[in-house]
Structure 1
Amino acid sequence: MPATPTTPAKQALSHLRVLDLTRVLAGPWCAQNLADLGADVIKIERPGAGDDTRHWGPPYLRDAEGRDTSEAAYYLAANRNKRSVTLDIASAEGQQIIRELARQSDVVLENYKVGQLKKYGLDYESLKREKPDLIYCSVTGFGQDGPYAQRAGYDFIIQGMGGFMSITGERDDQPGGGPQKAGVAISDLMTGMYATIAVMAALTHRDRTGEGQYIDMALLDVQVAMLANMNTNYLASGQAPKRWGNAHPNIVPYQTFATSDGYIIVAVGNDGQYRRFVEAGGRPDLHQDERFAANPMRVRHRDTLVPLLAEMVKTKTKQEWIDALEAAGVPCGPINDLDEVFDNPQVQARGLRVDLPHPSGGTVRLVGSPMKMSATPPRCDAPPPTLGQHTEQVLRDMLGYSEQQIGELRGKGTI
């Protein structure tokens, strides 16, 4: 069963306000992390259009009668626990409202093109004059300087440029070989995660010193940094790593295999595990053969061994193999589709699915935060807002605008 949404009595960031001028994924992912931890996140969106991802469907959220709403599932993934305010920041009135909101905020997040907000007087230096201890985080494809600073950054392109696709995909000498992107926008998501960490560090520094600061986050920087040991392998050896698909360059067998009804992962880490693997498959001879008895020999003869193992694995179902290998102490696991993921008892026990009522009248199904904290657990009590859902509330309650002023702004198309 899906987890029941709860509102913890206290959250780590409930004393903070974030003014979110970002859209699509990297910036909103950072803002959602902060919102999950209790921050009041005010999402600024274009009147009449909103975040680009609101229109990136189908699929769309369905209302109580099962009809599609205007809320794309892509948008729902990155915008829970926020408030939505529609505002035309190209107008003088809109710029003034941003300045007023910034004065009451701790953090500003933005992902406009380099220099675009400066012409509106909404860049860091301008807003710093309004609030000297402001934390201001910019997210771009390539950063605020360097020869590529003016280029637009797209996750897919960054995965290629940053080296990720050079080590991801089937081996070039195998059928289907060649570069592959990840199944989700990893450079966007990881940039959102790094931005979250940077914002938290800047807030800690501010709390100690009273000093705000500027944060310059770039997708390309993050994509290069996150290659981890592949980077150091290259820097140590001077040899660029190659693609190995679902295999491992140094361990055999450490890869996927097709069973009679699906796929499994077998991650043999030593010779004893290998022996138990082939014994579970009724092929002890594949351990007794001196070509395969020890890992260095298996790596050397992988092209001979792997087809024999593949033939062996096809004789049982996915579940039969998992049961047999778990009993034998051989590391293994299924390759689940999302039906199987959300039906998994461990996923259910961890409360990763959360169902919330939505203003459309339907129910929005979300994935809750994976951060488990004993004293200040993340919240998941507010569905992603509809476009402009909180505009009047924020203008009236935070900034003291009258109903007449709000009506005039709406008449001008500012909100």
Structure 2
Amino acid sequence: MPARSGRTVRDLRRENRAAVLQRLYFDGPLSRLALGPAIGLSSGSVSNVVAELVAEGLVEEAGSVDSAGGRPRTLLRVSPAGGRMIGVDIGETRVRVELFDLTLTELARTERALSTAETDRHARYDVAVVVGHVQDGIAEVLRRAGVPAERLLGVGIGVPGIVEHTPQDGAVVHGQTIGWNGVPLERLLRESGTLPASVPYRIDNGAKTLGQAEMWFGAGRGARSAVFVLFGSGVGASVISEDMGPGRAVEWGHLTVRVRGRRCRCGTLGCLEAYAGAEALLDRWREAGGTPPEGTHEETALTAMLAAAYPDDADTEPDRTALAVLEETAEYLGAGFADLINLFQPERILVGGWAGLQLGSRFLDEVKSHATAYALRHPAARTRIDLGRLGPEAVTVGAAVLPLADFFARGGRRPQERPSAPAPAWQTAIRDRVTS
């Protein structure tokens, strides 16, 4: 029976289930009595919804708490065994795959290295190789944890580049810096048969998945708007304007910061990424006469650069070349942050990614100073710039949040195929008219 707003009773029940699950997930354990006022439902409605969720194994008891003069109140929480999700990070040097329970406790993980010996970045990201790594990684974590694939709520994947969702191929990735031009990643994974058709793939930009994780569980909690900056070999960002919203990825690393400047790995000139990404930082240090360690991963080389510029021993003279490159980079980043402040006026700008956390711990205050100097005063005064809290591997957590968000939106129901319906009569009539 439809409600006046156009919503059906089924819609209202789904929304009530979603409200209970989300409140218990983020603020639980809670009693039934506390749940009602928190989500605006009557005690009867809460009892009915909780009974359903307990019967389905999604909610469980978690002890009790004394009440004022009455019987102890039973506390409820989301059951960790209520579902499983996989998060995948297609990163700069490896493909990381993690299996989580419903409360995002890690159950198994594996990594597949991308060939850093490849001088051609496009060859390193050969589509068939990456798809194979994802398939093998999914199979391995399921096998290690003894979890049947049918129990998965979904697989979330964070990728570099722009993700377009199409009716024919699902998620299509446009990753210019890695040579992916319209790669139908979702279709390729689906065709592999690694997972049953009932298990959805959710694919999105890696900076966006990081932002979602930090907004839900990290430094973004409580903010109404935030920008999350992801630093690795390159630079990306995502903008989120509501705490449970999905946000959107922005190609911030490819804003022009210097006309006719350095060649960026995307092919154009003067991008922020050509000055601020880890790959560019090491190249600039080398070009200025520095000596980055050869034959090591970028993570190790960047650590060496920071140690040279900011030695722990007070008696050791800093590497002036490395220090000059980093100080110039701080100004570029400050100007880039000012653009984000002026464009989006966020409450917070949060820095994450393996390179971002390394860099930020050393010169974030300097970046803040430049951002304040370049930005408009009013929005800059209201924006806090800080480091993310979820560590350098947060992209996999954010990727796992993608199917978790769908799970909440469905009120804890598992994905179901929509029944096919006959086409309207006019479509058949018009088709017959055209083909006759």
**TM-score per shorter chain, which class?**
under 0.3
| TM-score normalised to structure 1 length | 0.26
Q: Which has the higher strand share?
A: 2
Determine which structure has more spread, i.e. the larger CA radius of gyration: 1
